[in-house]
Amino acid sequence: MASTETTQPEISSQPQQDLETRLSFLQFSPKDEANLKDLSGILAPHISDLVAEFYQHLQKFEETASLLTDELITERLLTAQRAYLERLTQGNYDSQYAAERLKIGQVHNRIGLLPRWYISAYNLYIHLLYPLVFQAYCDDPEQIQNTILSLTKVLMLDIQLAIEAYIDSFSKQLQDANRRLEEYNLNLQAMVRQRTEELESFVYTVSHDLKAPLVTIQGFATAMEEDYAAQFDATAIEYLNYIQRSALKMGDLIQDLLELSRIGRIESPHEAVEMQQIVQEALTQIQLQIEAAHVDVEIQAALPTVQCGKSRLVQVFVNLLTNAVKYMGENPSPRIQIGWQDQGDFYEFFVADNGIGIEPQYHEKIFELFQTLRELEGVEGTGVGLAIVKRIIAYHKGTVWVTSEKGKGSTFHFTLPKMGMFQK
Ligand code: ADP
């Protein structure tokens, strides 16, 4: 189909060498050029009729007719159509010719003509032009065959060039869309970062401010117990104990929340640390609990060196090990295993226990803030420990997850990139 574009296309966009290769692949010879030039005189008296027929055909289909509602565009299209038919048989299929065809694909894409209509329009040319060739050379079958072949070759050339222009334009649109998506994503990330910072500082302020009234409650509850215990009956003492226990629990919650809000706000320096050292520090911190529960701890040999905030990673192990001890249940031979695997770009670590296990439907939930499963009598928790673990690991650009079955122990896995958190 012809273009409605009037500006001159860039010739350099279709280097001569490339065009020559295309023509040679099409087996296009000087003889073809001569055949087409001969056709030019035959075509000339019919051009107006051909353009009119072409126009009528486009009008029959909703998709193509919708492009012809504007009079000016229609006028330009028909003029360009005429020019195309003339140019088709003028010879000189050079880089200028190729550049024009490329431009035409671009224009058609711009006005919203889909490739399917565009390609099918070439069938229309065939339908209109071939009978003319048959008519003109009715006594010379060889000339009919040669001219039809030459015409087909040049139409093929036009189709491939225009389709490449479509593809080029589609990839540019895709690149633009990708760039916009990337920008959008960056903005979104910045927004999330800002919101998270706000939220963290809010949590920090609130938990910090809650400490003072809590200390007052605890102080006066203790004073009441000391000064008035003799005047209280058993129920009053029981109520007072509730207040004290709740105040203690609230103190733990506040402490955990403060800890959680610190992870993103307060940078801990990143350094190369031996994981063995981190694990040992964590075990020392909870040594009493481990001894009291008679837990056997196994550590896999040759733990690697990792890039991390050391105290944060100690905290991860303290939380995971504390849970492993806390949720051991009645196992007569309680055991915890700590191990690792090299996974290429990152290390994977695990803390496995043979405790009560976790049902699959809770495997993700337990990492959310304040999510506790009331599994064991007498085991108290705030539901912040694993949220802290998740936050610290995410901060190090790793992931954490659990594999477990109820009654069959739990294994908490986490990854750390070998390059540290600065890995892209
Ligand atoms: P907390 O221990 O204070 O309740 P956590 O965030 O550390 O909070 O853990 C959330 C929940 O996940 C716990 O209440 C417990 O039900 C479950 N859980 C965590 N670790 C284990 C484990 N090793 N074995 C079984 N259940 C566990």
| pLDDT higher than 60, residue 6 | no
202 contact partners, CB below 8 Å, separation of at least 6: none
Which of the four pLDDT bands, split at 50, 70 and 90, describes residue 3? Answer: very low
Tens of pLDDT, residue by residue over 134-157, are: 999 999 999 999 999 999 999 999
Q: How far is the CA of 147 from the centre of ligand 1 (A)?
A: 83
Which of the four pLDDT bands, split at 50, 70 and 90, describes residue 373? Answer: confident
- Token pair 């009441």: residue: 224
- Provide the pLDDT for residue 1: 53
Give the count of alpha carbons within 13 A of 253, CB side only. Answer: 18
- Provide the pLDDT for residue 11: 40
Q: Is the CB of 334 under 6 A from ligand 1?
A: no
Tens of pLDDT, residue by residue over 217-231, are: 999 999 999 999 899
Return the higher-pLDDT residue of 124 and 231: 231
Which of the four pLDDT bands, split at 50, 70 and 90, describes residue 266? Answer: low
Alpha-helical runs (H) found in 89-140: 95-110, 115-136
- Provide the pLDDT for residue 213: 92
Q: How far is the CA of 333 from the centre of ligand 1 (A)?
A: 20
- Nearest CA, atom 13, ligand 1: 372
| pLDDT higher than 80, residue 265 | no
| pLDDT higher than 80, residue 268 | no
In ligand 1, the atom with minimum distance to the C-alpha of 256 is 3
Q: Is the CB of 375 under 6 A from ligand 1?
A: yes
Assess contact for 335 and 342: CB atoms under 8 A. no
398, two tokens:
């790793």
Q: Rounded to an integer, what distance in angstroms lies between the CA atom of residue 262 and that of residue 78?
A: 71
Q: Is the CB of 385 under 6 A from ligand 1?
A: yes
- Nearest CA, atom 8, ligand 1: 383
- Nearest CA, atom 11, ligand 1: 372
In ligand 1, the atom with minimum distance to the C-alpha of 367 is 6
Q: Rounded to an integer, what distance in angstroms lies between the CA atom of residue 234 and that of residue 238?
A: 6
Q: How far is the CA of 222 from the centre of ligand 1 (A)?
A: 31
Return the higher-pLDDT residue of 1 and 32: 32
| pLDDT higher than 90, residue 200 | no
- Provide the pLDDT for residue 295: 96
- Provide the pLDDT for residue 388: 92
Assess contact for 414 and 389: CB atoms under 8 A. yes
- Nearest CA, atom 18, ligand 1: 323
Kindly state the average pLDDT of the residues 329-355: 95
Kindly state the average pLDDT of the residues 263-288: 87
Question: What radius of gyration do the chain's Cα atoms show?
Answer: 40
Which of the four pLDDT bands, split at 50, 70 and 90, describes residue 299? Answer: very high
Residue of 366, 403, 413 with the most ligand 1 atoms within 8 Å of its CB, for mutation: 366
List the one residue out of 141, 154, 162, 121 whose CA is nearest residue 37.
Answer: 154
Return the higher-pLDDT residue of 111 and 34: 34
Q: What is the mean pLDDT of the chain?
A: 88
List the one residue out of 1, 2, 126, 111 whose CA is nearest residue 63.
Answer: 111
- Provide the pLDDT for residue 68: 85
Q: Is the CB of 256 under 6 A from ligand 1?
A: no
Burial (Cβ within 10 Å: 0-12, 13-18, ≥19) of residue 333: exposed
Phi, psi of 349, rounded to the nearest 5 degrees = -115, 155
Q: Rounded to an integer, what distance in angstroms lies between the CA atom of residue 84 and that of residue 1?
A: 8
Q: How far is the CA of 260 from the centre of ligand 1 (A)?
A: 16
Phi, psi of 225, rounded to the nearest 5 degrees = -60, -45
- Provide the pLDDT for residue 422: 54
